[in-house]
């Protein structure tokens, strides 16, 4: 801890241009990601599919996939600029100190007696700021769902459902955010310079609680889980779980088609009690053996301890985030650079610290994507060893067609953004040989499939 304290003192330099530095980080990252996107856009203008897919993907499907990719890229350029303008405006015009002062006035004038102090003030500030940013981003969210996705036939939601989900999300954020934020601040206030260790333990406890409570109390607010009916699929999945000694407790089907045509399968739960969830759209569009093959890949992540390793990495990441935060929490030059001259609120310190840490997080993201792609290849290989090579390859191709996913990618763009290898790479690793017979370009209703919560296919 002495090292952290000395580092904190070293970085607390009066007049240090933290604001210019952070704005510079943001602009540099935006320009770099724009450069990568421009490289990928050139790939999306290609007129022929990769050689590996020539026998699997019809030209019509490839053209539609490329058009969808270009539409998403164009939307990404606009939404990225929109976000960058927001961030720049928030920092340049000192929105944070002004909003902090305004919510302090509200607290002084309108709060009941006894509702005072930094924790109450922080809660009001945080949710006011969150509400403002949510409203500002509504046009982007609406366009993505009801224009972009609608244009390519993927959206299954309605405006009413979209608004309902938004309101539920806000209510849930308040219900969970108030106690969690209060505990976060109280731990820091009461445990002194060693607060990061106690925050780390608190974070682990929150994750365990979330794993337990999410499927019981949160997921049902948005989707319906139904037990998988008796039949060949249930028998196949249970047989796979028994073969791998996977602690399967229950099998569910989720009504993913309620909002979109996305589909996949995932598992969740505590180490000794796991649950598998399969999207109804995956069952509808796939053969039984293909669904089992998808799950053999997913359970491969479990059997190869990928989920445990990623969980461990996440805990280390959380610990070093909190430890580094202890370096910045009392950095007066950082607060003052952003307009906080008399008060140093903890939540503001954490927000500013997160901005300052952005370059390091970019490196972490790159390394995690490299590791994730490695795990995906290993999970595919695991499924092959179980005898699902052909079924998994067919399922990957089918999902690619239904999803209109990117058929090819610029290597630099993929290295930075993709957590999964592209389809030609996965088929090559599976030893798949292209068939002369073309795959059907779309399903009967022209829908797509994609990824789900948890480990992705």
CB neighbour class for 31 (10 Å; exposed up to 12, middle 13-18, buried from 19): exposed
Alpha helices in 329-404 (DSSP H): 332-337, 346-356, 358-385, 389-403
Starting from the edge strand earliest in sequence, which strands make up the sheet with 273-279, in order? Answer: 225-227, 248-254, 273-279, 265-270
Distance CA 366, CA 418 (A): 9
405 in Cβ contact with 50 (< 8 Å)? no
Distance CA 150, CA 435 (A): 32
Distance CA 91, CA 302 (A): 43
How many other C-beta atoms are found inside a 10 Å radius of the C-beta of residue 143? 15
Annotated catalytic, 380?
yes
Q: Which among 355, 380, 410, 425 is annotated as catalytic? A: 380
Distance CA 172, CA 112 (A): 24
Tokens of 212: 């337990």
Which parts of 282-368 are beta strand (E)? none
Can you state the angle between helices 288-303 and 306-328, rounded to 10 degrees? Answer: 50
Q: Which among 298, 376, 391, 408 is annotated as catalytic? A: 298
Say if strands 225-227 and 248-254 run parallel, antiparallel, or are unpaired. antiparallel
Annotated catalytic, 425?
no
Which residues, listed in sequence order, are joined to residue 208 by a DSSP beta bridge?
Answer: none
Cα pseudo-dihedral 73, 77, 80, 85, rounded to 10: -170
395 in Cβ contact with 283 (< 8 Å)? no
Which parts of 164-232 are beta strand (E)? 225-227
Q: 371 vs 30, 376, 456, CA distance in Å?
A: 24, 9, 14
Distance CA 347, CA 315 (A): 21
Tokens of 448: 């797509």
Residues with a catalytic annotation lie at: 298, 380
């Amino acid at each position: 801890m002495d090292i952290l304290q000395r580092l904190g003192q070293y970085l607390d330099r009066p007049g240090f241009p933290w604001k210019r530095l952070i704005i510079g980080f943001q602009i540099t990252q935006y320009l770099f990601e724009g450069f990568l996107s421009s490289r990928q856009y050139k790939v999306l203008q290609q007129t022929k599919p990769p050689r590996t897919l020539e026998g699997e993907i019809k030209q019509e499907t490839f053209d539609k996939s490329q058009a969808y990719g270009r539409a998403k890229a164009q939307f990404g350029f606009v939404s990225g600029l929109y976000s960058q303008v927001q961030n720049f405006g928030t920092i340049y015009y000192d929105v944070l100190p002004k909003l902090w002062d305004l919510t302090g006035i509200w607290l002084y004038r309108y709060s009941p007696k006894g509702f005072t102090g930094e924790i109450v003030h922080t809660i009001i500030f945080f949710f006011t700021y969150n509400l403002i940013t949510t409203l500002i981003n509504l046009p982007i969210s609406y366009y993505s769902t009801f224009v972009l996705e609608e244009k390519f036939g993927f959206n299954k939601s309605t405006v009413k459902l979209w608004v309902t989900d938004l309101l539920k999300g806000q209510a849930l954020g308040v219900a969970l955010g108030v106690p969690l934020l209060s505990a976060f601040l109280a731990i820091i206030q009461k445990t002194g310079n060693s607060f990061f260790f106690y925050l780390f333990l608190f974070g682990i406890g929150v994750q365990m609680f979330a794993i337990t409570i999410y499927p019981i109390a949160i997921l049902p607010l948005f989707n319906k889980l139904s037990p998988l009916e008796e039949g060949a699929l249930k028998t196949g999945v249970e047989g796979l779980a028994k073969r791998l000694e996977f602690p399967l407790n229950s099998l569910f089907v989720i009504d993913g088609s309620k909002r979109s045509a996305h589909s996949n399968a995932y598992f969740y739960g505590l180490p000794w009690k796991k649950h598998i969830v399969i999207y109804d759209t995956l069952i509808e569009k796939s053969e039984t053996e293909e669904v089992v093959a998808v799950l053999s890949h997913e359970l491969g992540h479990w059997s190869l301890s990928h989920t445990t390793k990623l969980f461990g990495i996440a805990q280390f990441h959380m610990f070093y985030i909190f430890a580094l935060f202890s370096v910045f929490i009392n950095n007066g030059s950082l607060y003052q650079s952003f307009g906080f001259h008399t008060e140093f609120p903890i939540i503001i310190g954490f927000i500013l610290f997160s901005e300052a840490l952005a370059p390091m997080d970019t490196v972490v993201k790159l390394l995690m994507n490299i590791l994730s792609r490695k795990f995906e290849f290993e999970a595919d290989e695991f499924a092959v060893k179980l005898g699902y090579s052909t079924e998994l390859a067919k399922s990957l191709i089918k999902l690619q067609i239904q999803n209109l996913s990117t058929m090819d990618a610029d290597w630099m763009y993929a290295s930075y953004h993709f957590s999964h290898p592209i389809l030609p790479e996965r088929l090559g690793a599976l030893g798949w040989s292209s068939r002369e017979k073309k795959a059907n370009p779309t399903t009967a209703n022209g829908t797509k499939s994609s990824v789900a919560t948890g480990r992705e296919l």
